[in-house]
Amino acid sequence: MIAPSLRAIVVLGGFAWQALWRPLAEAGYEIPKPRPAFAHGGEADLPGPDGATRLLLGCYHPSQQNTFTGRVTADMVDAIFRRAGEFTSGPLPARTVGHQQPRLTSSALAVASH
């Protein structure tokens, strides 16, 4: 239902990163091979069934364990969502070869799992 306006996906945690690949494939997105490993700040381009590229961003889960230990800070999470905002502004980027310049709007989806 959100596919037409989806531009970026922010995945909160490694478990959610791993769990998302199958639904993305079932929705018609091209899955990178090999699949990128989860990392805070990790990125992957996801060409969609419509030919437009979406951006997948990894973010450490902001759980109490991660925030209390300093593994993830508010500034770190803010930086991920700023990156999503930079990418999502403007028209959906067409699939291209090589690095794409960031675009700016705010149609990001956050996926979290414990």
SS3 of residue 51 by DSSP: coil
How many residues would you count in the chain? 114
pLDDT at res. 93 = 54
In our burial notation (b when 16+ CB lie closer than 10 A, e otherwise), range 92-107 reads bbeeeeeeeeebebeb
Question: How many Cβ atoms from other residues are within 10 Å of residue 49's Cβ?
Answer: 10
Q: What is d(CA 96, CA 25) in angstroms, rounded to the nearest whole number?
A: 19
pLDDT tens by residue, 41-84:
999 999 999 999 999 999 999 999 999 999 999 999 999 999 99
The ranges assigned to domains in the chain are 12-112
| pLDDT of 97 higher than 80 | no
Question: Which amino acid is located at 21 in the chain?
Answer: W
pLDDT tens by residue, 9-24:
999 999 999 999 999 9
